[in-house]
Amino acid sequence: MNIQNGFVRVAAATPRVRVANPAFNAGETIALARKADRAGVQVVVFPELNLTGYTCADLFQQQVLQRGALDALAQLCADTRDCAALIVVGLPLAVDAQLFNCAAVVQAGAVLGIVPKTYIPGYKEYYEPRWFAPGPRLSAPVMDVNGVEVPCGTDLLFCAAECPALQLGIEICEDLWVPQPPSTAQALAGATVLLNLSASNELVAKAAYRRALVQQQSARCFAAYVLASAGVHESTTDMVFSGHALIAENGNVLAENERFARAAHLTIADVDVEYLLHERRVANSFSQAIGEGDHACRQIAFNCKQPRWQWPVQRSVPRQPFVPQDPAARAERCHEIFAIQTAGLAKRLEHCGFKQAVVGVSGGLDSTLALLVGVDAFDQLGLPRAQMHAVTMPGYGTSARTYANVQTLCAALGVTLHDISITAACDQHFRDIGHDPQCHDIVFENTQARERTQVLMNLANKLGALQIGTGDLSELALGWCTYNGDHMSMYGVNCGVPKTLVQYLVRWVAETHVAEAARAVLLDILATPISPELLPAGADGAIAQKTEETVGPYELHDFFLYHAIRGGAPPRKVLLLARQAFGDGYDEQTMRHWLRVFYTRFFANQFKRSCVPDGPKVGSVSLSPRADWRMPSDASAATWLAELAEKE
């Protein structure tokens, strides 16, 4: 793919206009188009009828204005011959006895095609049928534009010769607001980037509705959507325009301008067409929709050579893609996830007739979250909290801090605490299998994990209770769990929650769901290093084993998980995105090392994911074989690791 690892730089332009002055508007359009080209923009879209102004009204019927628009288009072509960017502008075009509201697609001084507006609004403040005919009435496949025959029609797609993944569909303003936008058919015909030349006036709350339309259409079409709307220099006789510009990708707004600006400006973002194609291939309902109708379009080739811009991409690449950066959005996300976890557990308890539950609590984040979910489920079902059985099982590596936190938290929550040491049982097991307990190897560690699971399962059987699992999504991805140990439970409430999000969930519960005594201990648990506590504690009783020193930083692994599995990105692209997201946080060698660890562990541990317990999917990534992820346990990581080893 002859673009930057699947990224294409697009822009929505907001030029200054003078109503009914095509010569002035041509100059402004040319200046902004050349500015976009210098910025490495590969596709730039201007507002509806920008070469004349949208608010010309009956002046559209004047031949002088119509000729002026054609002259402006000719000037644009002449002055952008050396520009690599594809430029999409709006103008009125007369064909025989009809006038059409059109988009003209220009590159390297040539008009590649003309797309007329399909739906012509004639309600409320809109009077377009007074001047313009609907696009489908333009029946001829070509039209004369300044003496050159040019393809025209609502069935045109513009396809990058060097990049099959980049195909452009074009619609104009009202086309987006109807029940079946033309861009839907364009997407089904292959368009990955949808462009809208708009002149949507401003009303109270209309911007939010417009934004929602753009987001929803980009999501439904698994596409990028670029909208450029007319600005404040349009006539204000009856309406005011804001120059609203939006760029969305698969439901997410990548870039949005400040409305009502008086200066000309560009809103730029890099959209990922590789990712969009991945999403379409994963969602087989998209391909089903392709087969349910005639979406044939004429393909017009354009050049999309290696862009002039260099990495990094012009878009936000969050360090924690599973965690919203906005505090309000993050709180809402935590509320929703906690509700899903609680609802899942409550249903399982109710269905099986369990009145009691058992959960192992270590003083770490995962088991704390599982306990909090269990308590909330019991409250919703009207069951006494005393019938929630928390079990702490101190072993060779249990620290004084985590042990004390378990005691305090269980007392504050009013649950029943069982304190069962596993050291004697493990000592006996070592004798049974002839293992030296001073050899702190995988046998030493896994014996403890399996003994704890045996205690929990058998105690649950004794009490007639459901045993709640605590393992999270990140641990499943890395296989950082003991097979048939902490890997197993009767219901895993955390299986869809990545490690980077667990801490925010616990903090959210601390701030919203519990009394002060529980809040204080939850905050201390949040400040405790992540550890399985399987190796002997230090002489001072402090934690000696820190997970991230062994398996790697969870913020990196969750980042890799999101982009490699959720986004389908290849290793080289994942690494490039990580460089941008983490900046100086990690050097190149460190990130490359942990990415190798991620792929190696992810492939090697599929056998654990193939038999995980039931548990709720809460986000866009699930590794359950019954939900999103099916993978052979014997698959090789060699191809992925080979790409990662290649020199750039």
In this structure, are strands 224-229 and 245-249 parallel, antiparallel, or unpaired?
Answer: antiparallel
Which run of H or E residues covers position 194? strand 193-198
Phi-psi region of 554 (alpha: psi -120 to 50; beta: other; left: phi over 0): alpha
The residues pairing with 269 across neighbouring beta strands, listed in sequence order, are: 10
Does 352 qualify as catalytic in the annotation?
Answer: no
Tell me how far apart the alpha carbons of residues 337 and 342 are, in angstroms, rounded to a whole number: 9
The answer to whether the beta carbons of residues 480 and 470 sit under 8 Å apart is no
Which amino acid would we find at residue 612? V
Q: What are phi and psi of 172, to 5 degrees?
A: -125, 120
Q: Catalytic residue at 83?
A: no
DSSP codes joined into one string, 318-367: -S-TTS-SSHHHHHHHHHHHHHHHHHHHHHHHHHHT-S-EEEE--SSHHH
- Which residue is catalytic, options 77, 83, 102, 117? 117
Using alpha carbons, select from 605, 600, 610 the residue that is nearest to residue 638.
600
Distance CA 337, CA 496 (A): 9
Residue 163 is among the residues annotated as catalytic for this protein:
no
Pick the catalytic residue from 48, 202, 234, 451: 48
- Alpha-carbon distance 137 to 225, whole Å? 26
Peptide linkage before 312 cis (omega within 30 of 0): yes
- Residue type (1 letter), 213: L
- Residue 254, classed as helix, strand or coil, is strand
What are the beta bridge partners of residue 512?
Answer: none
Amino acid at 121: P
Kindly list the distances between the CA atom of residue 328 and the CA atoms of 136, 507, 535, 547, in Å, as whole numbers in the listed order.
45, 14, 40, 30
**Token pair of 109 as six digits:** 């001084």
Is residue 476 within 8 A of residue 565, CB to CB? The reply is no
With contact defined as beta carbons under 8 Å apart, do 508 and 632 qualify? Answer: no
CB 12 within 8 A of CB 261: no
How, if at all, do strands 416-419 and 98-107 pair? Answer: unpaired
What are the CA-CA distances from residue 617 to residues 190, 496, 621, 629 (Å)?
31, 5, 8, 12
Question: Which listed residue (173, 297, 304, 426) is catalytic?
Answer: 173
Catalytic residue set: 48, 117, 173
